Amino acid sequence: MRASRIENSKEIHISGAEGIYEFYELEKFLKKFFKRAIEHPKGLPDKIVFTLEKIKEEIQPVEALSVKTVFCESSEEAQKVINEHLINLGISEKAITVAWSVIKGQKMRGATLIDYLTAERLEPDKERGVRVSRIQMDKKRRMQVLKKIKNLSSEPQRVIEAVTIASKVAFCPEVVAEICVSDNPDYTTGYIASKEHGYLRITNIKKQGENTGGRAFFVKTPLDIEKLIKFLEKTPVVVL
């Protein structure tokens, strides 16, 4: 589901949701997603798009990243903690700078792919970016994550969706790490994720009210970019 508003003749994304379900569950989830779209704090959307696709491929199992919360008092502290982590993973300072400039600059629906050493941006469409899709978290794992973040997030469903995305991304051998900042001005917890350190939730990653945000994936080259994008966007996975 994708809900958007039209502002100054431009379509602005306001909420979205997705999952992999059995046929008999569809009606229940369509209603749930519709409710989410129309109950958004920003008010009614101008457009809601539902897409249903039959999955014919095998659903690939992917291990869930471990989840930890790192408490930071300010966005300056958060940025310092994140940069230190990324540098320890071998990511170059210029790649980190490019990631922050994309996240704090243009609004992209998808993620930017950045060469972790040269800082070159590799996504073919710089406006759209790469959108991680066809994902679902297994029910048992979802319960575990919800228990882990109890009282630590005002929007537990947002955390589940983010851990699901991050686990699919980190599963790719070409990906060194991911950084994500929500574009929701009221949601100030973001994360960095990697195979080594798991999913690290970072509080106060941005200041309240800032409406910029986005995702950056640091990748190793050479790589088969089409194959990576196809996996992220099209291969169905269940996060266990």
Q: How many residues bind ligand PML (CB under 6 A)?
A: 12
**Is the Cβ of residue 138 or residue 161 nearer to ligand PML in the bound state?**
161
Choose the binding region for ligand PML from 29-37, 77-85, 136-144, 181-189 (rule: CB under 6 A). Answer: 181-189
Instruction: List the one residue from 191, 217, 218, 231 that touches ligand PML (CB under 6 A).
Output: 191
| Residue 61: CB minimum distance to ligand PML, A | 22
**Is the Cβ of residue 17 or residue 117 nearer to ligand PML in the bound state?**
17
| Residue 70: CB minimum distance to ligand PML, A | 11
Whole-angstrom distance between the N-terminal and C-terminal Cα of the chain? Answer: 23
Query: Of 133, 86, 119, nearest to 231 (Cα)?
Result: 133
The footprint of ligand PML on residues 120-179 (CB under 6 A) is 153, 158-159, 162
**Is the Cβ of residue 191 or residue 231 nearer to ligand PML in the bound state?**
191
**Is the Cβ of residue 74 or residue 154 nearer to ligand PML in the bound state?**
154
**Is the Cβ of residue 142 or residue 201 nearer to ligand PML in the bound state?**
201
Length of the chain: 240
**Is the Cβ of residue 114 or residue 159 nearer to ligand PML in the bound state?**
159
Extract the tokens encoding 50.
Answer: 């539902």
- Judged by CB under 6 A, does residue 110 bind ligand PML? no
- Judged by CB under 6 A, does residue 201 bind ligand PML? yes
**Is the Cβ of residue 180 or residue 237 nearer to ligand PML in the bound state?**
180
Q: What is the DSSP string of 176-219?
A: EEEEEE-S-TT---EEEEETTTEEEEETTSS-TT----EEEEEE
- Judged by CB under 6 A, does residue 197 bind ligand PML? no
**What is the maximal distance between C-alpha atoms in the chain?**
49
Distance between CA atoms of residues 226 and 232, nearest Å = 10
Confirm if 191 and 145 have CB atoms less than 8 A apart. Answer: no
Chain Cα centroid distance, residue 194: 13
- Judged by CB under 6 A, does residue 184 bind ligand PML? yes
Q: Give the burial class of 99: count Cβ atoms within 10 A of its Cβ; 0-12 exposed, 13-18 middle, 19 or more buried.
A: buried
Confirm if 186 and 177 have CB atoms less than 8 A apart. Answer: no
- Judged by CB under 6 A, does residue 15 bind ligand PML? no
Distance between CA atoms of residues 194 and 196, nearest Å = 5
Chain Cα centroid distance, residue 135: 11
Query: Of 239, 219, 203, 181, nearest to 60 (Cα)?
Result: 239
Residue whose beta carbon is closest to ligand PML: 182
Catalog residues that contact ligand PML under the rule CB under 6 A.
Answer: 153, 158-159, 162, 180, 182, 184, 187, 189-191, 201
